[in-house]
Amino acid sequence: MTGKSSCHEPLTPDRRGRAMTGDRKLTLVLAMATLFILLSYFHSVVRMSVLDGNFGDFANYYFYTQQMESGVNIYAVPQAQMEERIRQSDLPAYICYGVGYSPLFFFLFSPLTRLDFPMANLLWLILNHLLLAVILSLAWRMSDARRASDLFLLLILMFASQPLAENVGIGQINIVILFFLVLMALGYGRERMEWLCGPLLGFILLLKPQFGVLLLFFLWKRSYGAVLATLLAYLLFRVAGILVYGLPVEVAYWTNLHALSGIETLHLNSLKVVLQKVFGSAASERAWAGGIYASICLLLTGATFLRMGRRRMPDKALQEYALVICLILLISPVTEEHHLVFMFIPFVVLLHAAELSVRSGVLLAAAFCLISVRYSLNRFPVFQSGLPALLNASKLLGVFLVWEITRRSLPPARLGAILQSWLERKTRDGRAEGPKPAPSGTPGESVIS
């Protein structure tokens, strides 16, 4: 029977014509921003590799490893003689005088010197980017991210960063250290795996002694397993260096490290150097700068550890760890721009593990810009001394903002917990002695002051 039906059949929704929701639009914008940042980053890498060809720090590793492998004690060679060796080198990169890394590092680096410099440099570049991929996957796991927008956010935090570009451009080893620090964050976040922090931190200390603050952090939080594992691993690494190159090389390393600690003009983003530029180069002015620097370091360290308290809080472990990373960069006398690549950890932790207010979010965005943008102020003489030199500390200001946001995201440690425990103990002792009559003479009442 032919006829029109009185009921309309339900229409199947056309997915191709469905409007995008607010979340999908945000994901699309993040995807566009991420693609632009990645293309810009890889353009910079190609430009640095083909045109600039700096890779100065990698050239240092390569040159000094060659010297060590040929039997030269690079820590004991006089500066004039070492500079002459540098001039005679045929490496197509600038090599600076001064060695601050442990002898064992050069032994581990020696396989790359079996290749010619361009091939070794290319291999080092590939290795660094493979580590970046592993770091991103570990950060994805650390942050418990699940959405596509979280992945785009991690990529933006990693690649929209001048410190990362500088690390790649000069061939620094900080990406390897960042990999170890992320592994340590995962280990410390899981109490049963805190022993993993030992060998990782022990190796980091061979390269960057300022990370010894993490050892104090583990001691403060009563993570004694991590402390013992770190000390044992560090001792074994030092013994291994002695077995490879001999005790005289080890002794010369410590002597050379002490001498290098007085070279301060290199560390442009160090709070200590900034204060010395502000106050001046006279002996009395440097003494004032040193005193203020030491006072600020003590205040920042005290504010950090007292905020955390000694009680371990598994749900806040990552935030405490990120807070100490910020502290290290603030108080270290040797902070440089390429060290700020370690700020990737606090940014990831804050954006995924902490509840941020609107004000904190705005400050965090400002801090990211201060740390990640490229500056050229240090090239102008007017910004090298006096109050204008404070503008060179803008990246440190960004680190300080992240430190303060992270510190405030932690629940305040009960600074009166010790006093409260003492009062409770006195109360228990008083009750054990028996009730004391109240001043009014009412029997059975007691007064607790």
Q: Mind listing the pLDDT tens digit for each residue in 340-392?
A: 999 999 999 998 866 788 899 999 999 999 999 887 666 666 667 677 777 77
Residue 400: the pLDDT is 96
Find the radius of gyration of the CA atoms of the chain: 28
Q: Which of 237, 236, 207, 250 is nearest to 68 (CA)?
A: 250
What is the C-alpha to C-alpha distance for residues 6 and 403, in angstroms, rounded to an integer?
Answer: 69
Give the closest residue to 138 by CA, choosing from 356, 339, 315, 348. Answer: 348
* 85-129 per-position pLDDT tens digit: 888 887 776 777 667 789 999 999 999 999 998 899 899 999 999
> Distance between CA 266 and CA 329 in Å, rounded?
15
- State how far the alpha carbon of 143 is from the alpha carbons of 134, 151, 318, 347, 350, in Å: 14, 10, 10, 11, 9
Alpha-carbon distance values, 174 to 58, 60, 148, 277, 375 (Å): 11, 14, 28, 26, 20
**418-438, pLDDT tens digit by residue?**
544 555 666 666 666 655 554
Which residues make Cβ contacts (< 8 Å) with residue 225, sequence separation at least 6? 194, 195, 198
State the pLDDT at residue 390: 75
Asked if 127 and 117 count as a contact pair (C-beta separation under 8 A), the reply is no
pLDDT mean over 390-400: 86
Residue with tokens 């004391």: 436
pLDDT in tens, 137-157: 999 888 777 788 888 999 999
Query: pLDDT, tens digit, for every residue of 19-30?
Result: 666 678 888 888
Say if CB 333 and CB 388 are below 8 A apart.
Answer: no
Task: Give me the pLDDT at residue 267, please.
Answer: 58
* pLDDT at position 177: 96
